[in-house]
């Protein structure tokens, strides 16, 4: 039985400083069939030329202006691989066997989605995530998102069954999708780092931290139901996290 194809979807917008490293990490993947899809939001720098210089087949979809959630959904609509991966233009895979590891895990464990871990990339240096992720359970996931986007891989049919990304969300669209997927089937959790998450001043989650935390809370409450005790606990955790963020970075504004 042949292994499935992995559709790697990279969303770009003026990503020229980082996209070359992201592309290189995909091109060096071995022992796996990769469909490479780019969805661009109207780049005006050298991003599109970087993509057009690729010496291998790829799909480029241009001028998607509705935001990152729409871009990711457009990429899924174009994908033909059995497994979907979203690797944003400022992130990259950590070694050449990442996708082979993923495909083998799908085959061995018959899972429908899985996630690994990431490393932080700050000014070109890799460092650990900075926390110990809990063992997976839906209850733990409701307390906070510990599933890293660039190290998550989902069967294409399952992602559509869950409804894709909610285009009304600006920051927590991945967290919302994980919670909807978790209602359908639990993921396989891999302990090894698979991708690097680049932290820089231009990234949305870094630049607008308080707004991202507020949307996380909105998503968490929407999946909690009407239980008043559970909702109160989420609100309390949010207050504590926001205070910690403000102490760590005084520029975090009031949500």
List pLDDT tens digits, range 168-218: 999 999 999 999 999 999 999 999 999 999 987 655 555 688 899 999 999
Q: How many angstroms separate the CA atoms of 176 and 205, rounded?
A: 15
Q: What's the pLDDT score for residue 206?
A: 53
Q: What's the pLDDT score for residue 130?
A: 86
Number of Cα atoms under 13 Å in the Cβ half of residue 73: 19
What DSSP string runs through 74-105? Answer: HHHHH--SSEEEE--TT-EESSTTHHHHHHHH
Domain count, the chain: 1
The verdict on residue 210 lying in a domain is: no
Question: Is the distance from CB of 24 to CB of 54 less than 8 angstroms?
Answer: no
The verdict on residue 219 lying in a domain is: no
Q: What's the pLDDT score for residue 201?
A: 65
Q: What's the pLDDT score for residue 254?
A: 36
Q: What's the pLDDT score for residue 74?
A: 98
Q: How many angstroms separate the CA atoms of 24 and 19, rounded?
A: 9
Question: Is the distance from CB of 182 to CB of 141 less than 8 angstroms?
Answer: yes
The verdict on residue 23 lying in a domain is: yes
Altogether, the residues listed in the chain come to a count of 255
Strand-strand pairing, 34-40 and 59-61: parallel
Residue 15 belongs to domain with CATH number: 3.90.550.10
The verdict on residue 249 lying in a domain is: no
Nearest to 207 by CA among 249, 144, 150, 147: 249
The verdict on residue 245 lying in a domain is: no
CA 145 to chain CA centroid, nearest Å: 11
Residues of the chain short of pLDDT 70, as ranges, are 1-2, 201-207, 247-255
Q: What HEC string does 134-196 produce?
A: CCCCHHHHHHCCCCCHHHEEEEHHHHHHCCCCCCCCCCCHHHHHHHHHHHHCCCEEEEEEEEE
The verdict on residue 1 lying in a domain is: no
Q: How many angstroms separate the CA atoms of 255 and 76, rounded?
A: 32
Q: How many angstroms separate the CA atoms of 230 and 236, rounded?
A: 10
Give me the phi and psi of 189, to 5 degrees please. -105, 120
Q: What's the pLDDT score for residue 226?
A: 82
The verdict on residue 236 lying in a domain is: no
Question: Is the distance from CB of 5 to CB of 29 less than 8 angstroms?
Answer: no
Q: In whole angstroms, how far apart are CA 227 and each of 82, 115, 131, 222, 231?
A: 37, 29, 29, 11, 6
**Tens digit of each residue's pLDDT (9 = 90 or more) over 94-118:** 999 999 999 999 999 999 999 999 9
Task: Find tokens 């780019």 and name the residue.
Answer: 38
The verdict on residue 217 lying in a domain is: no
Q: Which residues pair with 153 in a beta bridge?
A: 85, 114
Q: Cβ neighbours of residue 124 under 8 Å, at least 6 residues apart?
A: none
Helix/strand/coil for 91: coil
Domain ranges, residue 167: 6-203
Q: What's the pLDDT score for residue 1?
A: 53
């Amino acid at each position: 039985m042949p292994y499935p194809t992995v559709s790697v979807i990279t969303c770009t917008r003026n990503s020229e400083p980082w996209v070359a490293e992201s592309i290189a990490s995909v091109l060096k993947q071995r022992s796996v069939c990769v469909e490479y899809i780019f969805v661009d939001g109207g780049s005006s720098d050298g991003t599109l030329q970087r993509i057009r210089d690729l010496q291998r087949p790829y799909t480029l979809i241009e001028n998607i202006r509705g935001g990152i959630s729409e871009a990711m959904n457009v990429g899924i609509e174009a994908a033909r691989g059995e497994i979907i991966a979203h690797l944003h233009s400022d992130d990259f895979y950590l070694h050449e066997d990442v996708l082979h590891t993923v495909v083998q895990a799908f085959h061995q464990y018959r899972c429908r989605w899985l996630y690994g871990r990431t490393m932080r990339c700050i000014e070109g240096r890799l460092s650990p995530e900075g926390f110990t992720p809990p063992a997976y359970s839906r209850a733990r996931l409701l307390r906070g998102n510990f599933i890293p986007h660039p190290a998550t891989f989902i069967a294409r049919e399952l992602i559509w069954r869950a409804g894709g990304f909610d285009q009304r969300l600006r920051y927590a669209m991945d967290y919302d999708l994980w919670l909807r997927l978790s209602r359908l089937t639990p993921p396989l959790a891999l302990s090894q780092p698979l991708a690097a998450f680049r932290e820089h001043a231009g990234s949305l989650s870094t630049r607008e931290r308080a707004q991202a935390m507020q949307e996380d809370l909105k998503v968490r409450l929407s999946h909690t139901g009407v239980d008043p005790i559970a909702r109160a606990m989420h609100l309390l955790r949010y207050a504590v996290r926001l205070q910690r963020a403000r102490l760590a970075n005084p520029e975090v504004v009031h949500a």
